Amino acid sequence: MKQSVKLIVGNWKMHGVAADLVEARALIESVHDVRADCRIALCPPATLTDRMRQVLAGGRIELGGQDCHQAPSGACTGSVSAEMLVDAGATLVILGHSERRGAFGETNEEVSAKVEAAIAVGLEPIVCVGETLEQREAGQAAAIVSAQVEGSLADGLSERPFAVAYEPVWAIGTGLTPSLEQIAEVHAAVRSAMIRRLGQAARRAPILYGGSVKPDNAAEILGVSEVGGALVGGASLKAEDFLKIIRAA
Ligand SMILES: O=C(CO)COP(=O)(O)O
């Protein structure tokens, strides 16, 4: 089954204070005339989630978190639970981003546990995978990414909405992107791994591409087979740029 409705997600990462909500407001005002068959979400830092909920209220832009802890509550200083994200208004959550796998040593097992925690409270997980430049140069991109998919997805996903995001580590924030053929090849491998892990139910989940998606490359990337949307970092911080990417969908 072909995924027709694209999902365009903005990951603000550790950018944004209350004053930056003006960008979210600008985006809301301009998305009214964008064709309806595309989903749009913004994932601000946790401190802005509740305030962004108020800004987005009643509109078509969905709200997500950037991570959650795998435990429902407890002695976990500095962490945010899945339930807390829901409480603040989120309906989605990015999990296993390479910046967390890298800087915080998150393993596939931990990501899978976070996925379970997220779906337990009704959050839609966006599970990130991606190879390093070294792994790509060694010809291991598809194998690495497939193993991450199989290790990070959780059983419960076969009955829940979710997405996988393919983000080559070397393409994040660098202005570099894989060729369209390389994107198609890895997305096909991701789809196969999803089906191996979860069965045919995994056919309906979109596979997003992320890593230096910009207004000038979004249309061609979103046109690649099995690219069901985009996970956008830097270009989601400016309403004008993010809107251009949304229009490309
Ligand atoms: O990591 C990303 C989104 O999660 C991609 O970031 P950039 O779009 O800034 O490369």
Distance separating alpha carbons of residues 85 and 121, to the nearest angstrom: 9
Q: How many CB atoms lie within 10 A of CB 102?
A: 11
**Residue 230, domain member (yes or no):** yes
**Residue 109, domain member (yes or no):** yes
The model scores a pTM over 0.90:
yes
**Residue 1, domain member (yes or no):** no
* Cα 214 to ligand 1 centroid, rounded to whole Å: 10
For residue 237, what are the domain limits?
A: 6-248
Tens digit of each residue's pLDDT, the chain (249 residues): 444 799 999 999 999 999 999 999 999 988 877 776 799 999 999 999 999 999 999 999 999 999 999 999 999 999 999 999 999 999 999 999 999 999 999 999 999 999 999 999 999 999 999 999 999 999 999 999 999 999 999 999 999 999 999 999 999 999 999 999 999 999 999 999 999 999 999 999 999 999 999 999 999 999 999 999 999 999 999 999 999 999 999
Of all atoms in ligand 1, which is nearest to the CA of residue 235?
8
Half-sphere exposure of residue 34: CA atoms within 13 angstroms, side-chain side: 22
**Residue 73, domain member (yes or no):** yes
Q: Please give the annotated binding residues for substrate, written as ranges.
A: 11-13, 173, 212, 233-234
User: Residue with structure tokens 């429902």?
Assistant: 72
Q: What is the interface pTM, i.e. ipTM, of the complex? A: 0.99
Catalytic pick among 97, 110, 131, 226: 97
**Residue 202, domain member (yes or no):** yes
**Residue 243, domain member (yes or no):** yes
**Residue 49, domain member (yes or no):** yes
Whether 205 lines ligand 1, by a CB cut-off of 6 Å, is no
Cβ contacts of residue 85 below 8 Å, gap of 6+? 46, 49, 65, 68, 93, 121, 123
How many distinct structural domains can be found in the chain? 1
CATH code of residue 41: 3.20.20.70
